[in-house]
Amino acid sequence: MNIVVCIKQVPDTTEVKVDPETGTLMREGVPSIVNPFDEFAIEEALSLRQTFGGRVTAISMGPPQAISALRQALGMGVDEAVLLSDRSFAGSDTWSTSYTLAAAIRKTGPFDIILCGKQAIDGDTGQVGPGIAVQLGIIPLTYVSKINRVELTSAPGMIEVERMLDEGREIVEGRLPVLLTVVKDINVPRLVSISDIRRALRIQIPTWTAADLPGVDSRKLGLEGSPTRVSRIESPPRRASKVEMIPVDSADEAASTLIDKLRAAKAL
């Protein structure tokens, strides 16, 4: 089974603190990490490989330092890794990112399953996974919480998964190849030891530029190829009123006061 995992290097948003005075982000010393949802995707790829054999390829698009995210994927146990990095990829929105990643996946050869995290914790769009599937002409199955069954011996191969939707969980079966985006519930990613990282350091990670992607239309790459434009970035308005602390010396009185206030605010 050939599996491709798409991963993104992101700033660790859980480490970001907001400056209480200015309301801006305090980014100093915030580490870059592998997008946490992508770790579930890597883990799932590795466990599929354990059952079915085959190869796992990790792909990431980003600046040169994104190579450390790929190192971690190699440390976890993926077989090979490719970095997509080129000045012409800069400023890509989700459309161009999907387009570029799809071109790279095509170049890696035939695949059965593509795995992505459900979204990246910096952009939070969840659009790149389905976008890649459309570019490759395969089915996207989003928010997968469990792979129930994979049949490779049948022709075509089949997969059955559980998806987390708003009202509950959907069991769906589809024909391979598919693209899955996975949620946290799917597994527990393995820890990477120092020796794993050392072993990973010996594996070469090629960097592909736009010139290495056959058939891509350079007008569809990067900022130029991206339909959306960011026109403004601001700190979210702070809540209109500051928190009103209700004294709790008597739980009884506190409860009564709170209920009255909530009713006055029409929240009850």
Residue ranges in 172-201 that form contacts with another protein under rule CB under 8 A: 172-175, 183-185
Q: Are 33 and 7 in contact (CB under 8 A)?
A: no
Closest CA to 109 of 177, 203, 182, 207: 177
Number of residues located near another protein, criterion CB under 8 A: 105
Stretch that binds another protein, among 71-79, 105-113, 190-198, 216-224 (CB under 8 A): 216-224
Stretch that binds another protein, among 25-33, 71-79, 191-199, 200-208 (CB under 8 A): 25-33
Q: Which of 160, 196, 207, 212 contacts another protein by CB under 8 A? A: 160
**Cα(264)–Cα(258) distance, rounded to whole angstroms?**
10
**Cα(213)–Cα(107) distance, rounded to whole angstroms?**
7
Closest CA to 98 of 122, 130, 120: 130
3-state secondary structure of 217: coil
- Residue 85 binding another protein, by CB under 8 A: yes
C-alpha 97: how far from its chain's center? 12
What residues numbered 217-236 form the site for another protein, per CB under 8 A?
219-220, 222-236
Using the minimum distance from each CB to another protein, give the nearer residue, 214 or 236: 236
Site string for another protein, 99-138 (x = CB under 8 A): ----------------------xxxxxxx-xxx-xxx---
Q: Which of 75, 77, 140, 189 contacts another protein by CB under 8 A? A: 140
DSSP summary character for residue 189: P
Output the smallest distance, CB 162 to another protein, in A.
Answer: 8
Peptide bond into 156 cis (omega under 30): yes
Q: Are 119 and 164 in contact (CB under 8 A)?
A: no
- Residue 202 binding another protein, by CB under 8 A: no
Using the minimum distance from each CB to another protein, give the nearer residue, 77 or 126: 126
- Residue 21 binding another protein, by CB under 8 A: no
Output the smallest distance, CB 51 to another protein, in A.
Answer: 21
Reported as type and span, the H/E element at residue 220 is none
As a whole number of Å, the CA-based R_g of the chain is 22
Output the smallest distance, CB 39 to another protein, in A.
Answer: 12
Stretch that binds another protein, among 43-51, 73-81, 167-175, 189-197 (CB under 8 A): 167-175
Pairing outcome for strands 139-151 and 158-164: antiparallel
- Residue 212 binding another protein, by CB under 8 A: no
